[in-house]
Chain A
Amino acid sequence: MKVTYPAMGNTGIAIKALLKGLKLEVVPPPPITRNTIALGVKYAPEFACMPLKINVGNFIEALDRGADTIVMAGGWGPCRFGYYAQVEREILRDLGYDFKMVILEAPDFKLSELFSQLRALAENVSFIEAVRAVKFAWHKLRTVEIVERKREYFLPRVKDKEEAEKLYTRCLEALDRANNKEEVDKAWPEYMAELERLERHDEEILKIGLLGEIYTVLEPASNYNIVSHLGRLNVEVTRNIYASSWVNDHLLGGMLLKSDHKHIIKCAYPYLKYWVGGHGQESVGSAVDFARKGYDGVIQIGPLTCMPEIVAQSILHEVKAREGIPCMTLYFDEHAADAGIATRLEAFVDMLKRQKQRERKMVKERII
């Protein structure tokens, strides 16, 4: 059995570790390129959202490289994601591919269900080995996120952005290669220490909260690498979604990490009481949370036609007015020219900087 899975940012590093721990042969999806997206656009329904198209492209490329089993997440609720796995299976079957599809449904807060689903995937693995594989994958995921946060902090602050990005990429590659916990713990500190030693500039750093649909937030190929783009404009980005918090909240019922999910929903409550599917309610709540934490602005991102984010977007107008935080929404589709995205990001950052400078000037005048 040769297993593949959908790419979603750096979560692939952890998923690969998990599947390997279950003694499965893994065929990771090749990096998402223009060709991947072209394949997805060609074979997926035109009106489907971007993540489905990228998934289809990923699967075709992995199946062509010899994979015969696809592991895909399931879902439920108003968001179209709930149908992804089934629709993708049918598209690939119609194309003549022969494969097995394993759909991991999010258990309703019962961990044992998740384990039994994993056991079904890996028949010749003992329960203890399965637990060990999950634990190792979890450790890798948490480590990857330490590195991601460091990059989000240092990239805007250093002078040599290219060097910073290089160190970040190399660090992730080292983490991907690590085979056990000791290797993981040894792999990253060196790179990050080097990142911290890079020369800093003394220009102003803005803080922007990035929120929206989970796939678009996590997968740089689907958001034009917005974290890097903003980092080069000296903006520190904080995402509202990190993969580990999603696993913790939705798969494990908040048992591993201290979760702020309840707090976010509470923040959303004055604006949106109802769970509208996907991360619509979380997007509203996080915008409020970022505003109260003193962030300079919020950028909402999602795939074009994303229903939960459209609902959130229309409510963000109200959040903007009442909490006094500038918000901008960007939808991503398959178009290749990133000039339009760059213009909007630059204009937004420019606006925040000028507002901040004016505020500072006003404070100074008041003191005098």
Chain B
Amino acid sequence: MICYLGVDIGSVSSNFVLVDQRGKVREKIYLRTQGNPVKAIREGYMKIKEGIEGKIDIRGVGTTGSGRHLASILLGADIVKNEITAHAVAASYLYPDVRTIIEIGGQDSKIIIMENGIVTDFAMNTVCAAGTGSFLDQQAARLNIPIEDFGRKAVASSQPVRIAGRCGVFAESDMIHKQQMGYPVEDILMGLCEALVRNYMNNVAKGKRIAEPVVFQGGVAANIGLRKAFEKFLGCRVIVPEHYNVMGAIGAAILAKEYVEGYGRRSLFKGDDFILTGDFVSQSFTCNGCANLCEVVCIKRDDTPLAYWGDRCLRWESSLGRGSRENLKVV
């Protein structure tokens, strides 16, 4: 089967999808990165291949997420894209008339405004991680509730409590206070969802005109309580796509497909032998070239350096010829 591989290496999860020639998702894998992207990339690649019966022929690879450069080195990517473009491409592929994309992931949250399938405006959270997946994880742990049950429990609430949503730290202390007062857990959970939505609307989406259809994606979209809270706040229906948690990877796969097909290129995909047999290590060292003392990371496969990054002057990064940044082509 001919297919295209899309990979999204985020801070919390690593996602893989295989898309066939007609752009249909054939297989998806959602893994926790657990601070080891190299391992996650190999494991994810192995698993996604196991999931498909028969021989597969990977004709193109696209990577995105904060670990996109690393993934592109390990796998041999044809296209390396930022998360905004990848998410927008995936959403508008499934919903061509989408106007607003709400994406909440592990460490960041974004809003993307679309018109006729083109991004016209976007914003990402800046210095605060309140209202993202990690924050929800923490609070669920504090309330001793598995994160998977969070949403289901929250929607059972009939009277959500009011929790301050301006700042994640204050939201937490407010929540503890409500807990001590003896409010039911589901009311606190729904209150938390509503606080997060207010936080998102005020910080990330401020000043943006939100039009229907609204698509809600990213790992946090699994939380049905949050979806209900968005619907209540916005007063409109919020769509959660079937593959909400791997949308970035779908976008990357579609971009790779368009690029390879459009330009008639042969894929740079490295193949099983390269990915599964070699020993990949990352090393870091301090460059003494100037007073900046940059911490440079080197990715090696069996003692052969594949890539460097982390240096401000790009002396190391550009030392191996084709820099990773040159890969940022628009298709």
Contact = CB atoms under 8 A, between A and B. Distances in A.
Contacts of B291: 30-31, 33, 35
A339 B309 CA distance: 11
Given A344-B124, A354-B330, A358-B118, 17 more contacts: A35-B291, A35-B293, A162-B318, A314-B207, A326-B121, A335-B127, A343-B66, A343-B83, A346-B81, A347-B119, A350-B81, A350-B85, A351-B85, A351-B119, A353-B330, A357-B330, A358-B116
A30 B119 CA distance: 43
B124 A232 contact: no
B288 interface: no
B121 A347 contact: no
Contacts of A347: 82-85, 119, 122
Interface of A: 30-31, 33-35, 162, 225, 232-233, 304, 314, 317, 320, 326, 331, 333, 335, 338-340, 343-344, 346-348, 350-351, 353-355, 357-358
B325 interface: yes
Contacts of A314: 207
A346 B328 contact: yes
A39 to B, nearest CB: 12
Nearest to A350: B85
Nearest to B315: A162
Contacts of B328: 233, 346, 350
A350 B85 CA distance: 7
Interface residues of B, number: 26
Contacts of A233: 325, 328
A225 to B, nearest CB: 7
Contacts of A348: 122
A354 B290 contact: no
Residue of A331, A348, A351 with most partner-chain B CB within 10 A: A351
A103 B312 CA distance: 34
Interface string B126-146: 110000000000000000000
Interface in B30-68: 66
Contact of B312 (A35, A162, A225): A225
Interface of A is mostly: helix
Interface of B: 66, 81-85, 116, 118-122, 124, 126-127, 207, 290-293, 312, 314, 318, 325, 328, 330
B85 A34 contact: no
Contacts of B66: 339, 343
Nearest to B317: A162
Contacts of B85: 346-347, 350-351
A349 B56 CA distance: 35
A354 B314 CA distance: 28
Contacts of B325: 232-233
B207 A317 contact: yes
Nearest to B207: A317
B330 A331 contact: no
Contacts of A353: 330
A330 to B, nearest CB: 9
Contact of A333 (B84, B119, B127): B127
A314 B291 CA distance: 38
A351 B292 contact: no
Contacts of B121: 320, 326
A33 B290 contact: yes
Contacts of B292: 33-34
A102 B330 CA distance: 52
Contact of A350 (B84, B207, B314): B84
A77 B207 CA distance: 28
A354 B122 CA distance: 14
Contacts of B312: 225, 338
A162 B292 CA distance: 19
27 contacts: A30-B291, A31-B290, A33-B290, A33-B292, A233-B325, A233-B328, A317-B207, A320-B121, A326-B120, A338-B312, A343-B83, A343-B124, A346-B85, A347-B83, A347-B84, A347-B119, A347-B122, A348-B122, A350-B82, A350-B84, A350-B85, A350-B119, A351-B120, A351-B122, A354-B119, A354-B330, A357-B330
Contacts of A354: 118-119, 330
Nearest to A36: B291
A33 B120 CA distance: 36
A347 B65 CA distance: 12
B259 to A, nearest CB: 13
B196 to A, nearest CB: 21
A33 B122 contact: no
Contacts of B207: 314, 317
A21 to B, nearest CB: 28
Nearest to B291: A33
B37 to A, nearest CB: 13
A355 B83 contact: no
Nearest to B319: A162
Contacts of A35: 291, 293
Contacts of A335: 127
A33 B83 CA distance: 30
10 smallest CB-CB distances across A and B, nearest first, come from A347-B84, A33-B291, A346-B82, A351-B119, A347-B82, A353-B330, A317-B207, A350-B85, A343-B82, A33-B292
Q: Residue among B290, B293, B314 with the most chain A CB within 10 A?
A: B314
Nearest to A224: B312
A178 B178 CA distance: 69
B152 to A, nearest CB: 33
